[in-house]
Structure 1
Amino acid sequence: MSSTQTPAELGYRMPAEWEPHAATWLSWPRREGISFPDSFDRVLPTLREMVGALTESEPVCINVINGAHEAEARAVLDPLPHQECLTYYEIPTNEPWCRDHGPIFLTRVADPKLAVVDWDYNAWGNKYPPFDLDEVVPTRVAELLKVPVFYPKMILEGGSIEVNGAGTLLTSESCLLNKNRNPNLSRTEIEKRLRDFLGVKEILWLGDGIEGDDTDGHIDDLARFISETEVVTVVEENPDDENYQPLQENLNRLSGFALDIVQLPMPKKIVRE
């Protein structure tokens, strides 16, 4: 985008999860990828079920590497009804986590109504290289859709932020302030970029994430807006559990905001030998 104005100055905002949207974007996994090293075939039925649920009500856009990769995806998805809702795009990715590496869409009343923010991406603090293909996905999608694209020059994954569509953003200190993301940006500078490029006015910070979460505490693991004024947040009921105290701290922080809170108990641990 050649304009020197920020998305916020141009009237753009990031919509809430529940607002009407044109489609859902996914990145199809690669068998040789690192996301499912011992369970690739086991996740395919779940992916088919997810895509099938989506196509009941909306189009689904799927990023694939090439024709052979598309054929692999079709072998899983062709049995589904509503094939007219499925479109495959040759946008190669390293891994399938499109919520984190994909475009964040912005909207406004004036034309062009749609725009994309392309945040920098480093696979959760350089944990899982390579990520060169994932890093350019937002711009590739914007070029495909022929919509403006903005570059905040800050590392951020989609799962690390949550908005209510009415000016409030929820995030976590353990992720956005982590030195493995933006070591040269202060909290104030990060907040300014969030306001400028997502059109939010109020930023609410939670603390730490769940123990062992390799995203360093993505907010989509912790708390989600379910309306403009209501948040569901995870809590640990066992006071001896390592997650009890940090999740209580997050609950206490949320209680200090003007929000209705729904508590969701943590699931039991699944330990694989």
Structure 2
Amino acid sequence: MNPQDLHYTMPAEWARHERTFISWPVQESMVHPDNHESVSAGYAEIIQAIAEFEPVSVVVNPDDMDTVEKLNLGANVTLLPILHNDAWLRDNGPTFVVGEDGSLAGVNWKFNAWGGKYSPWDLDDAVAPQILELHRTARMDAPLVMEGGSIHSDGEGTLLTTEECLLNPNRNPELSREEIAGYVQQYTGTESVIWLKRGLSGDETDGHVDNIACFAAPGKVIIQVCEDPQDENYAITWENLSILEQAVDAKGRRLEIIKIQQPPRVDAEDSRLTLSYLNFYFVNGGIILPVFGGTAAETDKLAEETLAGLFPDRRIRTVNGMAVIGEGGNVHCTTQQMPAVK
């Protein structure tokens, strides 16, 4: 039996949370191990920002517990001693689903480190079951390699994703598009998938949707766009925009689309950093928004103003988006929400 058969569905991220899970960075697995201290400071900032709104549980390698405890991250922060390889819990943590009776379960996807890019990943693949066991939450094992950052739910039966990621042969080469879509819908309890084409230039996740588009409400989507025809993201974002303009959701609605301007390009060591305001994270009563400063000061302000206008009842809490981006992700990539069901 899968979540769909049992009438479980994946709530929208803006639905109330019981808590947020996040993993502490592991120096040995970092792209730039010498930056561990500064990256850890970035994670601490994200954790403390989220903790202003809701409880945070931090997955910490047992050998790092003393170090993290000394940081005094706050009374709303709990440390969980769980072995892990890397620190992107959106992708290797459980995807929570809620039953018609208000019960909670967690989907345990297979994880292979974004198509085998970073080895080893065995500890990360075992994190979701341990979180679910600690919280005495029912576990549903999905026969699919997938990361949480590759899907976004409207809470009413529709998912956003990209072909670049979900159909990439480095994940589930033995499965067809129809089989992959079927499993994703079964284990999220959804009825319809809107397939965007590609993710942003430089995104080593093979095009996670959480950098390019997300639901703001049922029937309403925010997309990051590029206005420069010389930029690789111009063709990428406008192709995705065209798809959204023609799409309908599971309820048969045409989508209202809100555009956010991408920040200026930033390169590090001859590779592009995947800067995205869409990697923000909904929390109870707020939004945690990465901003980038410097040449992005103007687009930072525009992004904050756009989200404040869209969500007048939420406080927009900005954090330094440059602190962890060198490792390949940002706020949304680090987090996983547990829905409140009581």
Q: TM-score range by the shorter chain?
A: over 0.9
Q: Is the 8 A contact 1:169 1:202 kept in 2?
A: yes
Aligned match of 2:236: 246
Q: 1:105 is matched with which residue: 86, 92, 96?
A: 96
Amino acid of the residue matched to residue 43 of structure 1? Answer: V
How far apart are the structure 2 equivalents of 1:122 and 1:259? 33
Cα offsets for 1:183-217 (capped at 9, x unmatched)? 01101001111111100001000001112210000
1:235 aligns with 2:229: no
Query: Between Structure 1 and Structure 2, how many residues are aligned?
Result: 263
1:209 aligns with 2:204: no
Matches within 5 A, 1:141-220: 141-220=131-210
Q: How many angstroms does 1:10 deviate by?
A: 0.9
Q: How many angstroms does 1:35 deviate by?
A: 4.2
Cα offsets for 1:49-75 (capped at 9, x unmatched)? 211111112111111121x31122223
Identity, in percent, stands at 40
1:72 aligns with 2:67: yes
Range that drifts further, 42-51 or 122-131 = 42-51
Range that drifts further, 86-95 or 31-40 = 31-40
Unaligned ranges ≥5, structure 1: none
Amino acid of the residue matched to residue 168 of structure 1? Answer: T
Q: Is the 8 A contact 2:25 2:40 kept in 1?
A: no
1:51 aligns with 2:47: yes
TM score, norm. by length of structure 2: 0.74
Amino acid of the residue matched to residue 88 of structure 2? Answer: W
Amino acid of the residue matched to residue 120 of structure 1? Answer: K
Q: 2:111 is matched with which residue: 99, 102, 121?
A: 121
1:86 aligns with 2:82: no
How far apart are the structure 2 equivalents of 1:45 and 1:121? 27
Q: How many angstroms does 1:262 deviate by?
A: 0.8
- Residues 210 and 110 (structure 1), Cα distance of their counterparts in 2 relative to 1, 3 Å cut: same
The 3-state SS of whatever aligns with 1:185 is coil
How far apart are the structure 1 equivalents of 2:104 and 2:43? 28
Q: How many angstroms does 1:142 deviate by?
A: 1.2
Give runs of ≥4 in structure 1 deviating > 6 Å. Answer: none
The 3-state SS of whatever aligns with 1:153 is strand
How far apart are the structure 1 equivalents of 2:168 and 2:27? 31
How far apart are the structure 2 equivalents of 1:42 and 1:223? 28
Q: How many angstroms does 1:46 deviate by?
A: 2.2
Q: Is the 8 A contact 2:151 2:208 kept in 1?
A: yes
Amino acid of the residue matched to residue 269 of structure 1? Answer: R
Q: Is the 8 A contact 2:201 2:232 kept in 1?
A: yes
Aligned match of 1:264: 260
Amino acid of the residue matched to residue 30 of structure 1? Answer: V
1:33 aligns with 2:29: yes
Q: How many angstroms does 1:40 deviate by?
A: 1.6
Structure possessing the higher relative contact order (Cα contacts under 8 Å, 6 or more residues apart): 2
Cα offsets for 1:25-84 (capped at 9, x unmatched)? 011112222244232212233222211111112111111121x311222233x0x4xx33
Unaligned ranges ≥5, structure 2: 248-253, 270-342
Q: Going by fraction, where is strand more abundant, 1 or 2?
A: 2
Q: Is the 8 A contact 1:14 1:107 kept in 2?
A: yes
Q: How many angstroms does 1:115 deviate by?
A: 0.4
Amino acid of the residue matched to residue 143 of structure 1? Answer: E
Aligned match of 1:63: 59
